[in-house]
């Protein structure tokens, strides 16, 4: 076997076999980003027991690998092309040709036994590339198995099947492969954490804006109701007093003008009342007839379903519930809008039903869409969790179902989903039938049918 001078140039620094070059480079974004300083890199190497002797050992394998590098690359991608999960990433023949060259280079770099700063940085960079193309670590790390399967027999043969000679070299190589895999795994964790952090920041920002808008709306609402409405009421009272006191002495034309003025003020007051009732901040929970809520949803459904063959079925009877009218309507609108967005077949059908469950009514929004993939079913009501719509689209903002959960839970209810792949989904949520009453433990219980004077509006199960 040819003896190499394994001192090599990296940048303008000559690396000698006498020691690792751990000094930080000038532009090492991933090492910096992951806080992988010299101490951390030393810790990793020490844990795997990688010593100078291991570096020398792997270098002894370089010739044998160089002779079979092409075969190695072919075998590596033959394996990836044979599996549907990994084949999907390798559709472009030109890219595949390039990757074969890069893969052989990547492996041979392992055998240089130089674990300096550029080495760590390069390994992290390649890991990040795979994380970014969406390749799961299962396949990425699993492919390292091919390193062992494809090269170990080659090395054993190159050393004339002399296990005593080759075994220490292979054990050194295993350490180096594990160092590599650890770095790859790190990139996945680090990038996933960074993404989560970013999502969380976005969510906090969105919530901040939401609450800001909410507060502004509330202030306007308060101002309108107290200042304007109050002022208007005072004007009306004054006008009516005038009518009573001097009205009888006025001539007919003036008296009529005064009456008209009073009537116009009453109209303005009514109009203001309606505007406040429609305020998006909601009015807080009250005993509510769901009939008008369903009517509003029916009117809005035309917008969701525009140009699609989809029908909305609403319950024949509408129960009375304890809820905020605007929030309840928006929760329904989210579920119905979602059902339409994800529909993958025509005719589509979205059906709202309800049944009685003690102190609560259980509402259900069912559809005949694709169903919720099992993998995300448990997390579906968390922010930014979305299924795939038609042609892999992800409709919506990813906040709709989170909003539904928030509204339902704030109202004292709960929400859940049942789904059969390919056949559709059923979203359920509960809404109290009456206002809460404090129980002995100080928490709230809901009183069924409170203030209803009996439950006279009760439809059979399923609405």
- Burial pattern 223-235, b for ≥16 Cβ within 10 A else e, equals ebeeeebeeeeee
**Interface with ligand HEM includes 89 (CB under 6 A)?**
yes
Distance, in Å, from the CA atom of 317 to the CA atom of 353, rounded to the nearest integer, reads 10
Out of 30, 57, 103, 349, name the contact with ligand HEM by CB under 6 A. 103
Of 28, 56, 135, 388, which one interacts with ligand HEM (CB under 6 A)? 135
User: Could you tell me which stretch among 99-107, 164-172, 201-209, 451-459 binds ligand HEM (CB under 6 A)?
Assistant: 99-107
**Helices 229-245, 252-277: inter-axial angle, 10-degree rounding:** 160
Tell me: cis bond preceding 74? Omega within 30 of 0 counts.
Answer: no
367, 339 in Cβ contact below 8 A?
yes
Is residue 133 near ligand HEM by the rule CB under 6 A?
A: yes
Give me the numbers of helices (H) and strands (E) for the chain, helices first please. 16, 11
Under DSSP, is residue 351 helix (H, G, I), strand (E, B) or coil? strand
Range in contact with ligand HEM (rule: CB under 6 A) among 131-139, 312-320, 372-380, 400-408 = 131-139
Asked whether position 106 contacts ligand HEM by CB under 6 A, the answer is yes
Taking the C-alpha atoms of residue 62 and residue 65, their distance in angstroms, rounded to an integer, is 5
Cβ at position 140, least distance to ligand HEM in Å: 5
Other C-beta atoms closer than 10 Å to the C-beta of 16 total 11
Q: Which stretch binds ligand HEM (CB under 6 A): 132-140, 253-261, 303-311, 423-431?
A: 132-140
Nearer to ligand HEM, 140 or 301 (CB): 140
Binding mask 143-172 for ligand HEM (x = CB under 6 A): xx----------------------------
Joined together, the tokens standing for residue 213 give 């808008």
Tell me: does residue 140 bind ligand HEM (CB under 6 A): yes
**Distance of closest approach, residue 155 Cβ to ligand HEM, in angstroms:** 17
The one-character DSSP state at 366 is: E
Q: Starting from the edge strand earliest in sequence, which strands make up the sheet with 310-313, in order?
A: 310-313, 348-357, 360-367, 424-432, 415-420
Strand stretches in 334-435, DSSP E: 348-357, 360-367, 415-420, 424-432
- Taking the least distance from each CB to ligand HEM, the nearer of 6 and 125 is 125
Q: Whole-number minimum distance, CB 103 to ligand HEM, in Å? A: 6
Q: Which is nearer to ligand HEM, 109 or 414 (CB)?
A: 109
CB 50 within 8 A of CB 168: no
Q: Applying CB under 6 A, which of residues 41, 59, 68, 130 lies at the interface with ligand HEM?
A: 130
Q: What is the total residue count of the chain?
A: 463
| Contact flag: residue 102 with ligand HEM (CB under 6 A) | yes
To which residue do tokens 């929970």 refer?
285
Q: Is 80 a residue that touches ligand HEM (CB under 6 A)? A: yes
Nearer to ligand HEM, 130 or 386 (CB): 130
Q: Which stretch binds ligand HEM (CB under 6 A): 22-30, 139-147, 198-206, 236-244?
A: 139-147
Positions 257 through 286 that interact with ligand HEM (CB under 6 A): none
Question: d(Cα 44, Cα 38) in Å, to the nearest integer?
Answer: 10
Q: What is the dihedral of CA 436, 441, 443, 448, to 10 degrees?
A: -30
Which of 1, 90, 163, 271 is in the footprint of ligand HEM by CB under 6 A? 90
In the bound state with ligand HEM, the residue whose beta carbon lies nearer, of 177 and 323, is: 177
Q: How far is the CB of 135 from ligand HEM (least distance, A)?
A: 5
Give the tokens for residue 226.
Answer: 């107290």
Our finding on whether 86 is near ligand HEM (CB under 6 A) is yes
CA distance 235 to 262: 8
How many chain residues interact with ligand HEM (CB under 6 A)? 18
Taking CB under 6 A as the binding criterion, the range among 96-104, 230-238, 281-289, 410-418 that sits at the site for ligand HEM is 96-104
Q: Which of 332, 297, 315 is nearest to 458 (CA)?
A: 315
Closest to ligand HEM by CB, 33 or 221: 33
DSSP state of 231: H
Question: Which residues sit at the interface with ligand HEM, rule CB under 6 A?
Answer: 80, 86, 89-90, 99, 102-103, 106, 125-126, 129-130, 133, 135, 139-140, 143-144
């Amino acid at each position: 076997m040819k003896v190499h001078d394994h001192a090599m140039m990296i940048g303008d620094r000559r690396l000698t076999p006498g020691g690792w070059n751990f000094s930080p480079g000038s532009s090492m974004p991933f090492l910096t980003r992951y806080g992988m300083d010299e101490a951390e890199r030393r810790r990793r190497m020490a844990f795997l027991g990688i010593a100078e002797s291991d570096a020398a050992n792997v270098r002894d394998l370089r010739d044998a690998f160089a002779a079979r590098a092409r075969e190695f690359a072919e075998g590596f991608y033959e394996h990836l092309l044979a599996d549907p999960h990994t084949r999907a990433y390798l559709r472009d023949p030109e890219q595949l040709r390039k990757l074969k060259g890069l893969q052989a280079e990547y492996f041979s770099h392992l055998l240089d036994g130089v674990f300096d700063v550029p080495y760590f940085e390069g390994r992290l960079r390649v890991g990040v590339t795979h994380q970014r193309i969406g390749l799961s670590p299962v396949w990425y790390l699993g492919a390292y198995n091919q390193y062992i399967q494809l090269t170990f027999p080659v090395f054993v043969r190159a050393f004339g099947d002399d296990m005593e000679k080759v075994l220490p070299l292979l054990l050194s190589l295993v350490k180096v492969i594990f160092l590599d895999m650890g770095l790859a795994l790190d990139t996945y964790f680090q990038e996933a954490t960074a993404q989560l952090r970013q999502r969380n920041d976005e969510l906090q920002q969105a919530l901040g804006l939401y609450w800001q808008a909410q507060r502004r709306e509330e202030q306007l609402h308060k101002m309108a109701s107290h200042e304007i409405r109050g002022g208007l009421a005072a004007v009306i009272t004054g006008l009516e007093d005038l009518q009573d006191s001097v009205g009888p002495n006025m001539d007919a034309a003036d008296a009529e003008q005064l009456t008209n003025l009073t009537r116009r003020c009453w109209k303005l007051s009514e109009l203001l009342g309606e505007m406040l009732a429609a305020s998006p901040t909601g009015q807080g929970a009250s005993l509510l007839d769901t009939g008008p809520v369903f009517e509003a949803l029916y009117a809005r459904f035309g917008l969701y379903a525009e140009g699609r063959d989809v029908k909305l079925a609403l319950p024949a009877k509408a129960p009375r519930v304890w809820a905020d009218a605007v929030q309840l309507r928006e929760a329904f609108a989210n579920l119905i809008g979602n059902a339409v967005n994800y529909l993958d077949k025509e005719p589509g059908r979205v059906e709202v039903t309800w049944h009685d469950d003690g102190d609560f009514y259980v509402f259900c929004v069912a559809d005949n869409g694709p169903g919720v993939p099992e993998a995300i079913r448990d997390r579906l009501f968390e922010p930014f969790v979305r299924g795939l719509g038609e042609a892999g689209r992800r409709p919506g903002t990813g906040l709709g179902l989170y909003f539904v959960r928030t509204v339902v839970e704030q109202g004292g209810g709960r929400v859940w989903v049942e789904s059969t792949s390919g056949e559709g989904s059923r979203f359920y949520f509960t809404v109290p039938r009456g206002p809460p009453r404090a129980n002995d433990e100080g928490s709230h219980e809901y009183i069924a049918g409170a203030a209803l004077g009996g439950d006279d509006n009760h439809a059979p199960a399923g609405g």
